[in-house]
Amino acid sequence: MEMTLSRRRGVDVTVTAPPSKSITHRALVTATLAEGESRIIGSLRSGDTVRTRDGLAALGIITTDDGDDLLVRGCGGVLPLAGPAMVDAGDSGTSLRFLAGLATLSPWPVTLTGSLRMQERPVGPLGDAIAALGGRVAYEKTPGCPPVTVTGPVRGGAAAIRGDVSSQFISALLIASPCYAEGLDLSLTTPPVSASYLDLTAAVMGAFGVPVEEEGEDRFIVRPGLYGSRPYSVEGDWSSASYFFAIAAVCGGRVTVKNLDPASLQGDRLFLDALVRMGCRVRADGDAVVLESDGDLDGTAIDMASSPDTVQTLAAVAAFARGPTTITGIAHLRYKESDRIAAVVRVLRGLGGRVAVAEDALTITPAPLRGGVVDPANDHRTAMSAAVIGLGAGNVKILHAECVDKSFPGFWDTLQGAGLL
């Protein structure tokens, strides 16, 4: 599927944010380990969350649709496996890592694999921590990368893990850890990237009855225990909302995004702080957030380590500012669905933009943008951020646009309904 974006000016639209992908994943996996049946209210249906559900099915966990909700029949911390299992996570890193955490509870080998890109994405820090906790880990091809076979059950106890590659390694262990005989005492050997996602994990675990004790920013303690089943409501996704805020910023006008919690723990709320620095005006109105812009944007400098999924969106906005923008805290973006630092460079330079790259920073210097063709290389965030550029500059064609289904299946329909396509 191809989508061509035309230049727009003076937008005035109202849209509804889809449910949070990050929270849906966490609620699904946590409910899996609870005693009894949980209802996940308003969960996201997307390519990634389907991968998690399929992986849970491979581990013997039953999930069923009930309207917009999901019913999860929990296993009480004991996976109902009668033999070895295979999980194909496709391109979903969250699915593979969280399901690897569940695999630490299985006395049977669980092999986790994925797409060719997934087989290049590191899981070594997670594997090392699992081994330190008493599990067995074997890599089928490349050391430290999927396919990886995990065999438990681990005993738990103390372990150390790097925090600078992916916070999902930490979250995977935290979610599984109440089911370990010795619980978990996890120390970080490097500062965590995307630390806000650890706050989300702790919040979901707490909602299901298991607290996470934090000592500073580098030690997490979870006592042995059981999750309780419950109804759990999934809030709107700030990452998905960012594209609409960005559209108003570059095109000028106003956008209202409903189904957002202004007090959310989601780190991508920081994206609005960046837009305010650049000259936009933001206000909350109940469960809606309104952004207004006159289209005149100033460059800024901001650390986006806690908001990784909106870095490409901010880079798209920065291309329309009156001065340079420097985005730091981004080195770990090289390990996402694609190398997202390389993707920003490729897309912006291909459309006439100017980008300079350092180890942990991008600097975008505005330059006249022209139309062109963008191949997102199967990365949903590359495609959606390119749509922002298309609406700001005009005549941008996005190839393989269906890749947005990974996180936001209704993205193009929402643009069309808002009169932007």
Contact 13, 418 (CB under 8 A): yes
- By the 10 Å C-beta count (0-12 exposed, 13-18 middle, 19+ buried), 10 is classed as exposed
Amino acid at 181: A
Half-sphere exposure of 110 (CA within 13 A, CB side): 32
Residue 121 to residues 115, 126, 151, 190: CA-CA distances in angstroms?
10, 12, 20, 19
261 catalytic residue (yes or no): no
- Which of 7, 13, 10, 6 has the alpha carbon at shortest distance from 419? 13
CB contact burial 308-344 (16+ within 10 A = b; e otherwise): bbbbbbbbbbbbbbeeebbbbbbbbbebbbbbbbebb
Amino acid at 263: A
The DSSP code for 193 is: S
Q: What angle, rounded to 10 degrees, do the helices at 238-251 and 311-318 form?
A: 0
The secondary structure of 323-355 as a DSSP string is S-EEEES-GGGGGSSS-HHHHHHHHHHHTT-EE
Helix (H, G, I), strand (E, B) or coil at 283: strand
Contact 268, 245 (CB under 8 A): no
Contact 171, 340 (CB under 8 A): no
Give the Cα separation of 271 and 278 in Å (integer).
11
Give the Cα separation of 106 and 16 in Å (integer).
40
Query: Among the options 309, 339, 360, 413, which is catalytic?
Result: 309
Catalytic residues: 309
